[in-house]
Structure formats: structure tokens, C-alpha cells
């Protein structure tokens, strides 16, 4: 399997002049998702935790409702990239075949297999339940992210998605050059480990776009905390899904954009 990090030579220009340098940078490869012999999507991804990516993508794209509906999974390395070859349960395979017959044309990697604007903006799953967290817990979870981002510490160029749980800290963390991929890897890892997201925090190092909220909703993750800012559509989608959306999170504070009822009412200094 291709290593996730490559070391390359470069020429560094600094104020004191020019010099030869070497740098660790993330690798990315073409990854194809196939179901029951049919091609579905191809995207660029970091070649690590690809089993998790296969399961997570299949779940968050609504191709299956639970990991057990993937009957078999093979990671096949080829000259041009890597194929994630999956076989689905008979019912899910029939549903996907029908979906393929109605796809009008090529699609982008963010909304794979979507044929229309209406389908892209379909209502999100409603997320209920979830624990109430204190501001101190959210700030502690945010601060715990960076030390565990091994690939990013080496390359400074990948995203992370993590799951934090009270009493356990960060339970799982996945990294990828693509923020969607990092989240799909995390969702897949949680599904394969039988970990429910209802009692913890989803942590993201990237900005929060609508697709990230949609994926969190499908995965049943009620509280999302991001280092970067959300888009306006992501905020509206979180409101509709019942997801608590906290963003611009730092070790000393954060802002809540949707459903603050899962954040304990403690005194917090203004961050405006």
C-alpha cells in the first residue's frame, strides 16, 4: 500500500537567502468506490484507513443504513489507484441499481450519485438526544486534538475528524487530505467498532460546509465542534437537523451557531 506521507526535496527561500530543503508532504491517491461490480465514485484520498473510508462513505451517502449491509469489502491496489470493492445486501444492491438508472450524468465528489438540485438539498435526518456538555469540556476536547494529529504534525496539510467522549477523551481520530474523507473515515471507524455517537462530540479541524452537517446527521452525531467557521447553509442545515453546531473553537472559547441547549449555561466571556 502507498505510504500516506512522502518526503520530497525543495528549494527554500528565506530572508537570509536560498537553500536546499526536504519536506514531508501528504500523499493522495485516486480511490474508486465500486458496489456489486458497478462503479459509483472516484475521489482523491490519503491512503490510510481505507476500510474505514469505504464503510463511512457508504453510510453517509445513504447507500446502506448500517455497516452490516456491506456483505464484503476488499481494498484492491492497482496501478492507477485503489479500488474499494464492496458487495451489498440483496435489498441495498437492488436500491442502488435503481438509483443508478436514474442518475442523469457525472457528479462531483462532494455529492456523489446525486442527479438534481432537489436531491442534493433533500431534508436532513433529524438528530435527537445527546448529552449536555460544559464549555470547559468543549474547550478541553478542542485542545486535545492537535497532539493526536500525527499526519498533520508531520505534514501540516491534512484535516482531522475525531470523536470525544466524557471520561474517555478522544476515542477515535482519522486524518485525510480531504475533510469529507476524514469525517467518513471517522464514521466508518465508529460503525465498525460499534461506537454510538449520541453521547459524545464530533470534532472537526476544517470549516463546516453543508455536506459535513448532512453526514453528521446521517451518522447520528448530535453535537459538532469545529476549529473553523461554518457556512450559512451549514448553520441552517444544523438548525433543521437538530444538531448543536459550535465553531471557531479554540482552547479559550468558541461560538454556538445552532441548538445551544446541549451546552451548559455557564458564564462564558464574550467572544464577539
Task: Identify the three-state secondary structure at position 203.
Answer: strand
| Residue 109 bears catalytic tag | yes
Q: What is the Cα–Cα distance from 201 to 244, expressed in whole angstroms?
A: 10
- Find how far residue 212's CA is from the centre of its chain: 7
Torsion of CA 231, 218, 43, 176, to 10 degrees: 70
State the pairing for strand pair 70-77/82-88: antiparallel
Q: What is the Cα–Cα distance from 74 to 193, expressed in whole angstroms?
A: 18
Give the 3-state secondary structure percentages of the chain, helix then strand then coil, rounded to 5.
35, 35, 35
State the pairing for strand pair 169-176/159-165: antiparallel
Q: Which of 109, 144, 195, 240 is flagged as catalytic?
A: 109
Residues recognised as catalytic: 109
Amino acid at each position: 500500500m502507498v505510504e500516506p506521507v512522502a518526503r520530497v526535496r525543495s528549494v527554500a527561500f528565506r530572508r537570509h537567502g536560498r537553500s536546499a530543503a526536504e519536506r514531508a508532504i501528504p500523499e493522495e491517491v485516486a480511490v474508486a468506490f465500486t458496489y456489486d461490480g458497478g462503479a459509483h465514485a472516484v475521489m482523491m484520498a490519503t491512503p490510510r484507513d481505507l476500510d474505514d473510508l469505504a464503510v463511512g462513505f457508504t453510510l453517509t451517502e445513504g447507500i446502506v443504513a448500517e455497516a452490516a449491509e456491506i456483505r464484503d469489502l476488499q481494498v484492491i491496489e492497482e496501478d492507477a489507484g485503489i479500488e474499494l470493492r464492496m458487495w451489498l445486501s440483496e435489498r441495498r444492491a437492488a436500491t442502488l441499481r435503481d438509483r443508478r438508472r436514474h442518475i442523469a450524468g457525472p457528479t462531483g465528489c462532494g455529492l456523489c450519485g446525486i442527479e438534481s438540485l432537489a436531491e442534493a438539498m433533500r431534508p436532513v435526518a433529524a438528530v435527537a438526544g445527546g448529552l449536555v456538555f460544559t464549555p470547559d469540556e468543549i474547550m478541553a476536547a478542542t485542545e486535545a486534538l492537535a497532539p493526536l494529529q500525527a499526519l498533520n504534525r508531520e505534514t501540516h496539510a491534512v484535516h482531522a475528524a475525531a470523536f470525544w467522549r466524557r471520561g474517555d477523551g478522544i476515542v477515535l481520530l482519522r486524518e485525510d487530505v480531504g475533510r469529507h474523507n476524514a469525517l467518513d473515515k471517522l464514521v466508518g471507524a465508529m460503525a465498525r467498532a460499534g461506537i454510538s455517537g449520541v453521547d459524545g462530540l464530533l470534532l472537526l479541524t476544517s470549516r463546516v460546509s453543508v455536506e459535513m452537517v448532512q453526514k453528521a446527521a446521517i451518522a447520528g452525531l448530535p453535537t459538532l465542534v469545529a476549529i473553523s467557521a461554518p457556512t450559512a447553509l451549514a448553520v441552517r442545515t444544523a438548525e433543521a437537523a437538530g444538531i448543536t453546531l459550535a465553531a471557531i473553537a479554540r482552547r479559550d472559547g468558541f461560538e454556538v451557531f445552532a441548538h445551544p441547549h446541549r451546552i451548559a449555561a455557564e458564564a462564558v466571556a464574550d467572544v464577539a
